[in-house]
Amino acid sequence: MRLVVGLGNPGRSYAFNRHNVGFLAADTIVRRHGFGPWRSRFQGTASEGDLAGDKLLVLKPETYMNESGRAVEAAAQFYKIPLDQIFVIHDEIDLVPGKVRVKQGGGAAGHNGLRSIDAHLGPAYWRIRLGVGHPGSPELVKAYVLQDFAKDEQPLIGTMIEAVVQALPLLLSGDANGFMSKVDVSVKPPRPKPPRPDAADDAKPKQGNAKPGCDKPPDGDKSNGGQSA
């Protein structure tokens, strides 16, 4: 059994906050991959299914963000899941919206959910960091992450979540680089290649192919500049 945790705060008023992007990703995993119904378990809600050839438990802690570690610890202990098989999806203010990064271990960087998990289990789990942007000033961060995504941000955030969910089997199979490459391509598709130089040349009109009736210069356009002899 592997464990994927989406971080957020319970309740309708928080549902589309930037801080709840982990919950949104967890919901999308369960929906896109046809997992079982959500059930109240481990001080949260959980859903089970098969992904990348293994059993996967998706968990949304219902303890509020700063106590997320209680729920994650309960699930990990019940199934005896090692830290390197735990994947936590969370918001990251130090990444621009649409940017995704993944790493194993590291610090909490001020994120209360990660800080709680570190305290209960240690830091050696995987972190899937979903960029939500920074308000520009540290004192604005708390209010910023508890605001809903702006209307013009929503399409990009939706694309980012879908990309992560579709690429997740690669990460679960141990291919972190492949996961990142697939996400990057999906969120920011490569620009179309410029036309080949020879193709551009083919598009140019060929000399000597003048249209019928245009083989002589118009009246008054003399070869000596229009001056009379």
Q: Does the annotation count 111 as an active-site position?
A: no
Active-site residue, from 19, 33, 90, 111: 19
Residue with tokens 């830290």: 83
Nearest to 72 by CA among 92, 91, 89, 86: 86
Question: Which contiguous run of DSSP H or E holds residue 155?
Answer: helix 154-172
Inter-CA distances, 43 with 30, 40, 86, 154, 174, Å: 18, 7, 17, 29, 29
Nearest to 159 by CA among 105, 217, 99, 69: 99
Residue with tokens 């997320």: 68
Question: Which contiguous run of DSSP H or E holds residue 56?
Answer: strand 54-61
Beta carbons within 8 Å of 117's beta carbon, 6+ residues apart: 5, 68, 69, 72, 73, 88, 125
Write a three-state SS string for 116-154.
HHHHHHCCCCEEEEEECCCCCCHHHHHHHHCCECCCCCH
User: Strand runs (DSSP E) across 64-108, as ranges?
Assistant: 86-92, 100-104
Max intra-chain CA distance, the chain: 105
User: Which sequence positions are flagged as catalytic?
Assistant: 19
